[in-house]
Chain A
């Protein structure tokens, strides 16, 4: 038994004829926060979507807690606790906030812990408690991101993958969400984060992969990556 919760081994994939990922190898250690950074179009989102199975991997292997899940469909992976909070939130717009959260607890293993997880969501995002009956599409952007995160937590994640946590959010709210991530990590959830705010990403994460053109040329403990000259120049503007 390894302490690696999620492992991608030389994964290649793309859209139609266009290859985007050229051999991605990543390990997300259990209970750690791993972050993926890099320019737009470098393949971060594609990596998460391929991991989830929304895009079929062309080559390579994906292991969840040591089990090969490469060929499973997204719903089968979700039922095993691989959770993606997708880019653009992807809520159920015509359903209420409460129903959106309920749908998170759809799978059998998530339903077993629905009550506890709902408490956890309310604790992290007290504001949602006042919005339960409201249709998701009527919420503000920040509130929608909270619902998306909350729904992810309701899924009882083993590995929680988050695509663009802070995109389009007020800085205060982004800070608050990052604090929430820290708490979740302390609760033992493995987190994989794609984040365009590189400062924040490097500050909160344990390990960082730097993407460029569908490959991962740089990786390392976040503290070390943050001190690398090429990273400072390219991504931190220093």
Chain B
């Protein structure tokens, strides 16, 4: 019994990282109605960004999150201008295709540089032992980092002028323009933040598990599940839903082979889509 509990706690810790990844996807969707298919590639770049920075500096990886996020912001702006700004008001298929193209390019270049063999960030914090179970320090630190970043985003969106401008554009882009808000600028910033969140979550994952350039894909899929659970365009709901997904994984993983977990997750995805098309945290009316 306590084994399940331990597994669930671990799932909760990892789930907050899923949640952070999903926040990025959700923010971009909510502000500009773009389904960002570069998401997985950006998560993978976050992993390798952390790998390179850690290799170069041997600093604490949780401090290295700061340069990873900064690089993610810059990269996000570049990706925005390259692949999204052109198709922002076009049918959604266009942005799906253009972001997918960037995804393929990043994966291709990444494979050329790093091949598809696994890498890891060789760092471990002391864990906490409770009875027969030890929670690794990295899992705890990653969860705390994810929650801190999520809270900072929430503060930014609800307490700062720039953050409120992002919410205003998400709410009613034409009206935001009438207020003197440059919506093109805001879209770029929101996209950059979404990418930075993806990169940050990838960087956190890299401190937990070995990874390859292709690892982003499975986290992208989890992000979709989490985003749908939370309701599209609700960043903070995404964090909570991520934690829920982690809890679920933790609860079932002692009983079944790991390879069955995606089946359960996507079963949940379908059930939620049918029962709560607006997400668990979605409102009844728009």
Contacts and interface: CB of A to CB of B under 8 A. Distances in A.
B172 to A, nearest CB: 5
B161 to A, nearest CB: 7
Contacts of B177: 54, 73-75, 78
Given A102-B164, A106-B161, A91 B180 contact: no
B172 A106 contact: no
Contacts of B182: 73, 75-76
Interface stretch (A59-67, A93-101, A119-127): A93-101
B180 A155 contact: yes
Interface string A76-95: 10110001101000111111
A75 B168 contact: no
A87 to B, nearest CB: 11
**Ordered nearest first, which 6 A-B pairs have the shortest CB separation?**
A107-B180, A78-B180, A92-B171, A74-B177, A90-B175, A79-B180
Contact of A106 (B171, B174, B181, B286): B181
Interface in B22-53: none
30 contacts: A74-B177, A74-B178, A75-B177, A75-B180, A75-B181, A75-B182, A78-B177, A78-B178, A78-B179, A86-B174, A86-B175, A90-B172, A90-B175, A90-B178, A92-B167, A92-B171, A93-B172, A93-B286, A94-B171, A95-B167, A103-B168, A103-B176, A103-B179, A106-B161, A106-B179, A106-B180, A106-B181, A107-B179, A110-B180, A155-B179
Nearest to A54: B174
A52 B178 contact: yes
B165 interface: yes
Contact of B178 (A86, A93, A102): A86
Interface size band for B: 10 to 19
A83 B180 CA distance: 9
A110 B178 CA distance: 13
B157 to A, nearest CB: 11
A136 to B, nearest CB: 9
Contacts of B171: 92-95
Given A91-B175, A103-B165, A106-B180, 17 more contacts: A54-B178, A73-B177, A74-B174, A74-B178, A75-B180, A76-B182, A78-B177, A79-B180, A84-B178, A86-B178, A90-B174, A92-B171, A92-B172, A103-B179, A107-B179, A107-B180, A155-B180
A57 interface: no
Interface of A: 52, 54, 73-76, 78-79, 83-84, 86, 90-95, 99, 102-104, 106-107, 110, 151, 155
B16 interface: no
Contacts of A73: 177, 182
Nearest to B170: A94
A92 B180 contact: no
B197 to A, nearest CB: 20
Interface string B122-160: 000000000000000000000000000000000000000
Nearest to A107: B180
A91 B181 CA distance: 14
Nearest to A78: B180
Interface centre among A52, A75, A79, A95 (most CB of B within 10 A): A75
B183 interface: yes
A150 to B, nearest CB: 13
Interface in B161-213: 161, 164-165, 167-168, 171-172, 174-183
A54 B172 CA distance: 14
